[in-house]
Amino acid sequence: MDPHAQPPVVTARQGIAGAVWRSALGRARLFAGNREPSLKDVMSDPIVRRLLASDNVAVDHMQRLIAEMQGRLARHPPKGDDEPPIA
């Protein structure tokens, strides 16, 4: 093998690696200034959608579950850090 040979150039637009790269770049922008992404941003992320699909979880089911939990938390907010964690 030639020690001076250059590795092949692979662009970020090729295949699944390109999709992951573009998604990561988009998420990196979300965290500029330590901003947490919105739930809408997270749920629209292609990697999150693929993960849900690989676990046979429908996006609309997950969104209903999240909405239900938001409602429960609004009705019964956490009391503080002095409570033991839920097991």
Q: Which of 5, 39, 53, 45 is nearest to 25 (CA)?
A: 45
Contact 24, 48 (CB under 8 A): no
Please give the model's pTM, rounded to 2 decimal places. 0.49
Indicate the residue type of 78. P
What residues have CB less than 8 Å from 48, skipping those under 6 apart? 42
- pLDDT tens readout for residues 2-51: 556 665 554 545 555 666 666 666 666 655 666 777 888 889 889 999 99
pLDDT at 87 over 60: no
What was the pLDDT predicted at 56? 93
What was the pLDDT predicted at 25? 63
Rounded average pLDDT over 76-81: 74
What was the pLDDT predicted at 12? 46
Domains of the chain, residue spans: 37-76
What was the pLDDT predicted at 55? 92
